[in-house]
Amino acid sequence: MPILETTNVVKQFGGLVAVNRMNFTLEQGQIASIIGPNGAGKTTFFNTLTGIYKPEQGEITFNNHKLVGLRPDQVVEHGIARTFQNIRLFGSMTVIENILVGMHTQLKQRGTDALFRNSFFHKEEAEAEKAAKDLMRYVGLRNVGNALARNLPYGGQRRIEIARALAAKPILLLLDEPTAGMNPNETEEAIKLFRRIRDDKGITVLLIEHDMRVVMNISERISVMDYGEKIAEGTPADIRSNQRVIEAYLGRDAATEAQE
Amino acid sequence: MTTFFKELFKKVNRGPWPLIIVLGLLLVGTITVYQSPRSLSAFLTLLLCPMMLYFFQINTKVKIFIGLLLTIVIIPVIGIRNIFYLEVIFQMAVFAALALGLNIVIGMAGLLDLGYVAFYAVGAYTWAIFGSKQLSLLHSIPGAAPAGAPFALAPEWFWLFLFLGTGLAALAGILLGLPVLRLRGDYLAIVTLGFGEVIRVLALNLDKPINLTNGPQGITPIQRPPLPPDFILDPIRNVLAPIVGHEVTDAQLYNVFFYFLALLVIMAAILVARRLEDSRIGRAWTAIREDETAAIAMGIPLVKMKLAAFAAGASFAGMMGALYAANRTFVSPETFSFLQSIGVLTMVILGGLGSIPGVIFGAGAVVLLNIQILQNFSLYLSSLRQSDAVIPIINFAWKDLSNQLDPAKYQKLVFGIILVVMMIFRPSGLIPAERRQRELEKEDPDTSLEV
């Protein structure tokens, strides 16, 4: 029984079919990647999964729940958290606060609890703060809890985004180009972090990634998209030798040339 | 310029100096205001005292003591001597509550609301309609009210309607919120502006078919809540009479009474704003302001949180509205014009979006500017106009100065200048908002900021 299954998902923008009849499955505890040239519809697919876009057709089943038609915040409640391609942190909030925002669905306090500052509120806030600090350390950030998120260097911001997504206690973590713009060292660290997330916490991880070293290194399963459609799927070894993938990435002529 | 003040502040803000300065201001301010109740500079000196009290590092208990001394003893006494100052401070409190409410909507949740004064109107008209004779006049034409119509409710009902007005304003906030949820930025601003006008025009025109608001003439008289019983007031009268040098009348006591009520509302507003700000809800608001898409992807229910922001912001205005109606014993649609909304917005921007001490300061400064400084300047110009004085060098006689040049009429100009200047030079306001610093355990110092 796969944890995530999409059948025939179609997302159109006017005449443009961004995602076309996407059938996709993901097993619990997998680390999988979606690759494809720019504009292939990968991020649009993420946005349909998380409820930001509503697909025109198709079904999305996650953990035995139907997701189509749910609002993004309801999708988060069902256990899908994500990061963004272009980092979207809350810049003028502190690092800790960013992570606390990620915990929104986990916290049970109501407005009245906050107004009367009862013992439940204090307890929950203290626990949340501790959990946020733990998460900060988990992704490798130190002593920056009170810094404004926008003042952190690029690699640090990527880490906060992951910590913020983890704060929602997800079952499935969607990472949209998480190593874009990182140097080789940082990329190495990031790959280790993704593995740890899966190994320690049992969280299923789905990445969109352009860096082939990362994809081939970390993925147990790779799906390739081009023009909104899935054109190939398999283990890294399968994908590496797949003719259609090489064509999609390099163009037909170059592909034939490379073969000769 | 700013660095100079910062350096000066740092130099002064240590050792016994803060306490000396605050106590000095308090003493000098009190004495001069007491001696010459009409002097503006004396009043400003006194107002500087709470500001310095806030900024300087002084023992918290001492701070609270001086603050209580000022608000509970000194201001009422001075207010009874010169009722005008109490009026100024009451207005400051009214607008501070409005600014605190608007600050939740704009400063925290980032929803630009240009019709905020509508909620103030809802609160004011709630008590105005039920606390006046209006309910008995529903079927009479405005202005042709039969004499001797009874009040619908006893004045004690005010206490209930204070909260009813709060609730109704919150409801109006939600009603406004529902249709504008999908709008952002400029579009939201335009719709809220329209909403503000709708409420004002309703107040203007709901004198037919049934006369609910008495139209442009407004509703009067509106009842005030009864003063506390005599066994509380008599000792106060007896103590105050020798200090202020005359018999304390009920009208003066009412002013002090409303001053304390306004103070209570402000305290409640500050408490609510601070507690909400530093909770799950406040963080969700800030997240929405910063990046709506990211916020919703973190599981924040946009609809619920935006409506909560509108409702919370509106409720402050509703409560102050009811209090204002009782204080003035008169409401009319004119009070709730678009200019008022802009005025409150100016306070929020001047003080600092999202900053609670900032918007209170902004409210104080703008009210002072409006009803004291501009007025005084007008008076000064008109006194020059009547004199034979001549500006040297250009040889311009003051009495030739046009009557049109009356600073008191240039409120809009002043609001405009404040908004433009602030946006250019200090977009985060005079007292910018600060994020709460949490205590983090010390880790190895050499790895700090290494990521």
* pLDDT tens digits along A31-58: 999 999 888 999 999 999 999 999 999 9
Contact residues for B61 (Cβ-Cβ < 8 A; gap 6+): none
Residue A84 in domain: no
Residue with tokens 């504008």: B180
Task: Classify residue A148 by its DSSP letter.
Answer: B
Say whether residue A212 is in contact with chain B using an 8 A CB cutoff.
no
Residue A176 in domain: yes
Which of A73, A91, A115 is closest, CB to CB, to B296?
Answer: A73
Distance between CA atoms of residues B188 and B293, nearest Å: 17
- Average of pLDDT values for A201-205? 96
Looking at per-residue confidence, does B313 or B34 come out higher?
A: B313
Does residue B95 have a pLDDT over 60? Answer: yes
Residues A14 and A118 in one domain: no
Distance between CA atoms of residues A47 and A53, nearest Å: 6
Predicted confidence at residue B449, as pLDDT, reads 46
Predicted confidence at residue B182, as pLDDT, reads 81
Residues A254 and A179 in one domain: yes
- Average of pLDDT values for B378-407? 81
Distance between CA atoms of residues B130 and B144, nearest Å: 19
Predicted confidence at residue A7, as pLDDT, reads 95
Predicted confidence at residue A254, as pLDDT, reads 63
Does residue B305 have a pLDDT over 60? Answer: yes
The CATH number covering residue A174 comes to 3.40.50.300
Predicted confidence at residue B247, as pLDDT, reads 83
Residues A186 and A242 in one domain: yes
Predicted confidence at residue B441, as pLDDT, reads 57
Confidence bin at B448 (pLDDT 50/70/90): very low
Query: In this predicted structure, which of A123-127, A170-174, B209-213 has the lowest mean pLDDT?
Result: B209-213
Helix (H, G, I), strand (E, B) or coil at A175: strand
Asked if residue B221 has a cis previous peptide bond (ω within 30° of 0), the answer is: yes
Does residue B286 have a pLDDT over 90? Answer: yes
Confidence bin at A256 (pLDDT 50/70/90): low
Structural domain tally of chain A?
2
Does residue A227 have a pLDDT over 60? Answer: yes
Instruction: Note the ipTM here.
Output: 0.93
Say whether residue A44 is in contact with chain B using an 8 A CB cutoff.
no
Residue A85 in domain: no
**Domain enclosing residue A68, as ranges:** 4-79+170-259
Task: Classify residue B331 by its DSSP letter.
Answer: B
Residue A214 in domain: yes
Which of A71, A101, A144 is closest, CB to CB, to B298?
Answer: A101
Looking at per-residue confidence, does B445 or B327 come out higher?
A: B327
Domain end point (choices A136, A164, A192) = A164
- For the residues of B126-148, what is the DSSP string, one character each? HHHHHSSSGGGGTTS-TT-PPTT
Residues A222 and A97 in one domain: no
Which of B275, B294, B298 is closest, CB to CB, to A115?
Answer: B275
Query: In this predicted structure, which of A69-73, A139-143, B408-412 has the lowest mean pLDDT?
Result: B408-412
Alpha-carbon gap: B304 to the closest alpha carbon of chain A (Å): 11
Domain end point (choices A164, A179, A211) = A164
Q: Do residues A224 and A248 make contact, with C-beta atoms less than 8 angstroms apart? A: yes
Residue A41 in domain: yes
Percent of the residues in chain B that have a pLDDT greater than 70, as a whole number: 96
Residues A62 and A104 in one domain: no
Say whether residue A230 is in contact with chain B using an 8 A CB cutoff.
no
Does residue B444 have a pLDDT over 80? Answer: no
Quick one: residue B341, left, alpha or beta (phi over 0 = left, psi -120 to 50 = alpha)? alpha
Burial class of residue B341 in the structure, from the number of CB atoms within 10 Å of its CB (0-12 exposed, 13-18 middle, 19+ buried): buried
Beta-bridged to residue A208, according to DSSP, are A34, A176
Distance between CA atoms of residues A42 and A46, nearest Å: 6
pLDDT tens, residue by residue, B127-175: 999 999 888 888 877 777 677 788 888 999 999 999 999 999 999 999 9
Domain end point (choices A140, A164, A188) = A164
Quick one: residue B406, left, alpha or beta (phi over 0 = left, psi -120 to 50 = alpha)? beta
Return the structure tokens found at B339.
Answer: 């200019």
Say whether residue B281 is in contact with chain A using an 8 A CB cutoff.
yes
- Would you tell me which residues 380-439 of chain B have a C-beta closer than 8 angstroms to some C-beta of chain A? 435-438
Residue A87 in domain: no
Say whether residue B446 is in contact with chain A using an 8 A CB cutoff.
no
- Torsion, Cα of B314, B316, B322, B327 (10° steps): -140
Residues A213 and A246 in one domain: yes
Confidence bin at B266 (pLDDT 50/70/90): very high
Which amino acid appears at position A159 of this protein? R
Does residue A179 have a pLDDT over 60? Answer: yes
Say whether residue A121 is in contact with chain B using an 8 A CB cutoff.
yes
CB contacts, 8 Å: B276 with chain A: 111, 114-115
Residues A71 and A131 in one domain: no
Distance between CA atoms of residues A29 and A70, nearest Å: 24
Predicted confidence at residue B440, as pLDDT, reads 66
pTM of the full predicted structure?
Answer: 0.91
Confidence bin at B118 (pLDDT 50/70/90): very high
Sheet holding A4-13, edge to edge: A16-26, A4-13, A57-62, A65-66
Alpha-carbon gap: A128 to the closest alpha carbon of chain B (Å): 10
Whether B451 sits inside 8 A of A77 (CB atoms) is: no
Interstrand relation of A172-176 and A80-82 (parallel, antiparallel or unpaired): parallel
What is the rounded average pLDDT for all residues in chain A?
92
Helix (H, G, I), strand (E, B) or coil at B408: helix
CB contacts, 8 Å: B440 with chain A: 96, 133, 143, 145-146
pLDDT tens, residue by residue, B180-222: 888 888 899 999 999 999 999 999 999 888 889 989 999 988 9
Confidence bin at B389 (pLDDT 50/70/90): confident
Residues A46 and A126 in one domain: no
- Average of pLDDT values for B326-353? 94
Residues A179 and A249 in one domain: yes
Residue with tokens 């499955």: A25
Residues A66 and A177 in one domain: yes
pLDDT tens, residue by residue, A134-154: 999 999 998 899 999 999 999
Beta-bridged to residue A61, according to DSSP, are A5, A66
- Torsion, Cα of B240, B244, B247, B252 (10° steps): -80
Residues A74 and A142 in one domain: no
Predicted confidence at residue A83, as pLDDT, reads 96
Contact residues for B450 (Cβ-Cβ < 8 A; gap 6+): A142
Q: Do residues B431 and B357 make contact, with C-beta atoms less than 8 angstroms apart? A: yes
Residue A43 in domain: yes
Residues A115 and A16 in one domain: no
Predicted confidence at residue B11, as pLDDT, reads 81
Alpha-carbon gap: B8 to the closest alpha carbon of chain A (Å): 27
Sheet holding A204-208, edge to edge: A80-82, A172-176, A204-208, A31-35, A221-226, A229-234
Residue A50 in domain: yes
